[in-house]
Amino acid sequence: MVARTDQTTDPALLQSLLQARRGTAFFARKLNELTDADLDGASLLPGWTRRHIVAHVGYNARAIARLVEWAATGVETPMYSSPEARNQEIEFGATLSPIALRNLFDHSAVHLSVEWRDLPEDAWQHKVKTAQGRTVPAEETVWMRTREVWMHAVDLDNGASFSDIPAPVLERLLEDITGAWKTRGTAAGLLVKVAGTDSAFGDASATNPTIITGPLPAIAQWAAGRGTDGVHIAGSGAGGTVAAAPKWI
Q: Which residue has the higher pLDDT, 173 or 182?
A: 173
The predicted-structure confidence for 138-157, as pLDDT tens digits, reads as follows 999 999 999 999 999 999 99
Residue 227, pLDDT > 60, answer: yes
Q: Residue range 36-53: average pLDDT?
A: 97
pTM, 2 dp: 0.92
Residue 236, pLDDT > 60, answer: no
What pLDDT is stored for residue 240 in this prediction?
Answer: 67
The predicted-structure confidence for 55-92, as pLDDT tens digits, reads as follows 999 999 999 999 999 999 999 999 998 989 999 999 99
At residue 195 the predicted structure's pLDDT band, cuts being 50, 70 and 90, is: confident
Q: Which residue has the higher pLDDT, 211 or 45?
A: 45
At residue 183 the predicted structure's pLDDT band, cuts being 50, 70 and 90, is: confident
> Cα–Cα distance between 53 and 45 in angstroms, integer?
8
